[in-house]
């Protein structure tokens, strides 16, 4: 198991888990019978073959590791759950249920996953809520899972259950680890590895000492409401945007779509804190996960860059250009690292002290490594189908920890950009205002860029 994967296990508490979830909403196929969802659950109840990570249980011991269970050791009736909203269930009702499901930690005595099939949605739709532990999957890993289970063909039938299809590289804890020791046969490569280590050290020093106004160093962010101690209940809110709209704005402004997303979030956060009389004079910062995944192995393959959100700048266009400068600086530093291993290591070195704080119950008491996480995950470009049912939207629900009470994750899918806001219900009150405010900030930015 890699250090990053183990960190998610070491950091969670008995009442506050480190799970991430995929909330997907579906429309029935045109020829669907009235009992389509019930039949789907019945078919899945007979699917008793389990691939990684669905057959992995946490092994007891001081060092976290996985053990592979036989099919007869897995209680599918526990993991597969069928429920319904009072008809017609809308986005608000689905969000309330998702918040409740996300609040409960996964049971470590079992494989760390749950599949909730939810019917009763408006227009006869249904939803799937797949909850997994972050030690076993990241954002791109969830996309790979969907792509190998679902089909772009609406005519495909008799498709397997989510837990039946193995990844191309299914070894538990697979992937590279920057902690792996070199073999004696690698002696000839030691010089190259030392050079890589030197470049990694240089990047870390530059991150923490650069005086460039766009540089965002770790543990230098102002402490805000988002950086306190957490309670168990979670709140989930969602928004949807057209991808073409964001792409047009990015092209006109000469920035990336990710810069547009960060600027919209920054505007919402600025307004939210201003309304509370708590807007710092110093810029908030965001940890932005960057995928280094090159396979379908179990576990995480991510690193981090840190970017300034420039919430101290009132003008949205000026804020956008300042954010662009900060993200460009961070991305250039990241790209200059020579390998996947060093890029992943940079994220581990930046996050290591924070994970240690969480594990020791010290997080949320001192300076935050950054104020919040804002992720941008590229998803499938075309619609995907499950036995004829079309996946209409995919909301990625992430996790929060002490000191990091808000997470915003964007995911592109079939021409739309779904945004999911996950927060501690008590620490970040009225979190829905941030979700709505992100759309309002985008409207304002669009009007100014057009003008």
Q: Which residues are catalytic?
A: 134
- What tokens appear for 119 in the block? 């019917």
Tallying the residues shown for the chain, one arrives at 451
User: At 128, phi and psi to the nearest 5?
Assistant: -120, 135
b/e sequence 253-275, b meaning 16+ C-beta within 10 Å? bebbbbbbbbbbbbbbbbbbbee
What are the start-end ranges of the E strands in 259-315? 285-291, 302-308
- What tokens appear for 298 in the block? 């179990």
Alpha carbon distance 205, 427 (integer Å): 33
Q: DSSP of 168-234, one letter per residue?
A: SS--TT-S--TTPPPPGGGGGGHHHHHHHHHHHHHHHHHHHH---TT---TT-SPP-GGGS---S-E
**Angle at the Cα of 374 (from 216 to 309), degrees rounded to 5?**
40
- What tokens appear for 146 in the block? 């969907």
> DSSP alpha helices (H): ranges in 210-315?
243-253, 257-275
């Amino acid at each position: 198991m890699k250090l990053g994967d183990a960190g998610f296990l070491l950091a969670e508490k008995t009442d506050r888990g480190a799970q991430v979830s995929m909330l997907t909403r579906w429309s029935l196929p045109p020829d669907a019978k009235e009992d389509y969802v019930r039949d789907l659950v019945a078919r899945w109840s007979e699917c008793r073959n389990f691939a990684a990570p669905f057959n992995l249980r946490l092994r007891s011991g001081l060092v976290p590791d996985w053990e592979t269970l036989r099919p007869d050791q897995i209680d599918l009736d526990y993991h597969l759950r069928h429920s319904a909203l009072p008809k017609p269930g809308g986005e608000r009702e689905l969000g309330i249920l998702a918040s409740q499901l996300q609040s409960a930690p996964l049971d470590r005595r079992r494989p760390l996953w749950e599949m909730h099939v939810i019917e009763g949605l408006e227009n006869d739709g249904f939803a799937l809520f797949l909850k997994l532990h972050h030690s076993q999957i990241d954002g791109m890993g969830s996309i790979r899972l969907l792509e190998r289970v679902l089909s772009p063909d609406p005519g495909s039938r008799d498709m397997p259950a989510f837990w039946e299809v193995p990844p191309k590289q299914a070894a538990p804890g697979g992937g590279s680890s920057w902690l792996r020791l070199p073999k004696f046969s690698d002696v000839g490569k030691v010089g190259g590895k030392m050079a890589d280590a030197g470049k990694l050290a240089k990047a870390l020093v530059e991150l923490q000492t650069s005086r460039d106004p766009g540089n965002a160093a770790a543990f230098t962010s102002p402490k805000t409401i988002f950086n306190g101690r957490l309670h168990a209940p979670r709140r989930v809110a969602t928004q949807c945007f057209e991808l073409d709209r964001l792409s047009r704005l990015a092209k006109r402004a000469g920035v990336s779509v990710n810069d547009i997303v960060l600027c919209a979030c920054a505007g919402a956060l600025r307004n939210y804190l201003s309304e509370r009389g708590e807007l710092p004079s110093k810029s908030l910062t965001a940890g932005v996960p960057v995928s280094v995944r090159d396979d379908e192995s179990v576990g995480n393959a991510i690193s981090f860059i840190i970017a300034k959100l420039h919430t101290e700048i009132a003008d949205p266009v000026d804020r956008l250009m300042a954010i662009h400068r900060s993200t460009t600086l961070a991305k250039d530093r990241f790209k200059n690292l020579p390998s996947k291993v060093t890029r992943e290591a940079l994220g581990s070195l930046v996050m290591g002290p924070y994970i240690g704080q969480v594990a020791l119950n010290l997080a949320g008491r001192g300076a935050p490594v950054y104020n919040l996480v804002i992720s941008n995950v590229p998803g499938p470009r075309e619609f995907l189908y499950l036995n004829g049912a079309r996946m209409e939207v995919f909301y990625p629900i992430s996790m929060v920890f002490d000191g990091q009470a808000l997470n915003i994750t964007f995911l592109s899918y079939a021409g739309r950009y779904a945004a999911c806001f996950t927060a501690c219900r008590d620490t970040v009150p009225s979190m829905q205002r941030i979700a709505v405010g992100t759309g309002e900030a985008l409207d304002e930015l669009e009007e100014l860029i057009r003008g």
